[in-house]
Amino acid sequence: MNNEQTEPLMKEKEDYNYHCFDSMMNSLFDLANELHDRLEEDEELTDAEAVFLRSFDIYVDSCCELDDLEGDDQ
């Protein structure tokens, strides 16, 4: 394959990967929101649900902090 043929294929793969990542993150956010709602209703979470929620909240917080740092640099 020459470069002209490879470039659109790579772009297509990249777009597909971004789409898959976005879909996965949307599902994780939906799950986290559902678990937060259950906590607000005083429902108990399983250990696995609690660990997921704690880990996901830390991930989101760290992403927000990185965004804040990048905003300060500009």
Q: How many domains does the chain have?
A: 1
Domain range holding 42?
Answer: 3-73
Inter-CA distances, 27 with 11, 21, 30, 69, Å: 24, 10, 5, 27
Q: Looking at residue 6, what is its pLDDT?
A: 82
Q: What percent of the chain has pLDDT over 70?
A: 95
Q: What is the pLDDT of residue 5?
A: 77
pLDDT tens-digit map of 20-32: 999 999 999 999 9
For residue 65, pLDDT over 90 is answered with: no
